[in-house]
């Protein structure tokens, strides 16, 4: 059973591979992007159910990707990946509509999977027209 489509935009090929394997094993359809430009093309071609988005990437960074898909116009949640737990990046991410943050140096892949599962459940809940 496929559990949903996820785009993982991460410029580190090792991390990208680890994330892809972890989410594929857990039933998700995964597409990966090495930079923000690739991520934007993928979103335009086939909108994901969820986007895992690194902030610091070449060509176009994660913030610029979010600016092209503002929260009020997109139908998918975004988890921002960052190497930094600094408040400035988190504040900017929140302003741009990030649904959650994954600080790579402080969290496990299991925690990222839990974030994804929580957001996917919430997305299904609201898609079915359930009130709060």
pLDDT digits (tens, 9 = 90+) for 78-92: 999 988 777 888 899
Please name each of the domains of the chain with its CATH number: 5-127 (3.40.50.2300)
Give 8's strand partners: 32, 52
Per residue in 98-108, pLDDT (tens digit) is 999 998 888 89
Compute CA distances 58 → 22, 44, 103, whole Å: 24, 19, 19
Q: Distances from the Cα of 17 to the Cαs of 12, 64, 89, 96, 118, in angstroms?
A: 9, 23, 25, 27, 22
The number of helices, as runs of H, and strands, as runs of E, in the chain is 5, 5
The rounded radius of gyration (Å) of the Cα atoms in the chain is: 14
For residue range 37-55, list pLDDT tens digits in order.
Answer: 999 999 999 999 999 999 9
Question: What predicted TM-score, i.e. pTM, was given to this entire model?
Answer: 0.91
């Amino acid at each position: 059973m496929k559990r949903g489509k996820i785009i993982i935009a991460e410029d580190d090929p090792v991390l990208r591979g680890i994330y892809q394997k972890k989410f594929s094993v857990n039933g998700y359809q995964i597409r990966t992007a090495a930079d923000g430009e690739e991520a934007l093309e993928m979103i335009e071609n086939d909108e994901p159910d969820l986007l895992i988005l690194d902030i610091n990437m070449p060509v176009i960074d994660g913030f610029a990707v979010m600016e092209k898909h503002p929260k009020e116009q997109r139908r998918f949640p975004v988890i921002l990946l960052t190497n930094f737990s600094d408040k400035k990046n988190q504040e900017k991410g929140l302003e741009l509509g990030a649904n959650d943050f994954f600080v790579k140096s402080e969290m496990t892949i299991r925690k990222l999977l839990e974030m994804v599962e929580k957001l996917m459940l919430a997305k299904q809940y609201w898609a079915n027209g359930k009130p709060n």
